Chain A
Amino acid sequence: NAGVTQTPKFRILKIGQSMTLQCAQDMNHNYMYWYRQDPGMGLKLIYYSVGAGITDKGEVPNGYNVSRSTTEDFPLRLELAAPSQTSVYFCASSAGLGNVLTFGAGSRLTVL
């Protein structure tokens, strides 16, 4: 049981480049989330999804896009990368309302 798998673990981008952070879960969870973690700021919600085909913005969605074509996958797309997007990104999933989140190991992104 792999849980939540994120790829890549590390990536360096140049300003203006684009990339996709992959997230997959094998627990048949309906709810999936993308957070970013910056030092001293805790985790901020970027986007979330309550099921395949349904996504919604979180607290800090600007500069990002998501899609949810299947229950298992929830990729995060960065268009026109900026230094402000340098962060550690965490994907998480849960079985439903009020349930505990299971987190992936994180993806560290640096934009230079």
Chain B
Amino acid sequence: AQSVTQLGSHVSVSEGALVLLRCNYSSSVPPYLFWYVQYPNQGLQLLLKYTSAATLVKGINGFEAEFKKSETSFHLTKPSAHMSDAAEYFCAVSEGVAGNKLTFGGGTRVLVKP
């Protein structure tokens, strides 16, 4: 069975500072990995996805994530936080191309301080 752990349910960063959100996964087969963002009172939107191509994945709004198989991690980063980055972020895994269900982590809420 697959699972996802997000370290830290809340993260507070200053505007302009690095954003780092941690995600570790377990999967019995090579995984597909995703980061989604949820703004208040909205559904989830895709930030980026890893599907076994390049290990460094670039997404929207300046975010990127690096797949590290040896660490079973897929951490999300952004070099410089903006006020508009305040949202909840979810890491998710599916079991490769044969998987048709996503398993989500518990989410990390990001607060950006001016």
Contacts and interface: CB of A to CB of B under 8 A. Distances in A.
Interface residues of A, number: 25
Interface string A9-44: 000000000000000000000010101000011111
Contact of A31 (B41, B98, B100, B105): B100
B104 A43 contact: yes
B45 A103 contact: yes
Nearest to B106: A42
A100 B90 contact: no
A40 B107 contact: yes
B77 interface: no
A92 B101 CA distance: 11
B114 interface: no
Given A33-B101, A43-B90, A105-B42, A98 B106 contact: no
Given A40-B9, A45-B101, A50-B100, A103 B43 contact: yes
Interface of B: 4, 6, 9, 32, 34, 41-46, 49, 51, 90, 94, 96-107
Given A97-B97, A97-B99, A100-B34, A42 B104 contact: yes
Main secondary structure of the interface of B (DSSP, over half): mixed
A98 B96 contact: yes
A106 B45 CA distance: 12
Interface of A: 4, 31, 33, 35, 40-45, 48, 50, 58, 90, 92, 94, 96-98, 100-101, 103-106
Contacts of B44: 43, 90, 92, 101, 103
Contacts of B43: 4, 90, 92, 103-106
Contacts of A31: 100
Contact of B100 (A40, A41, A48, A90): A48
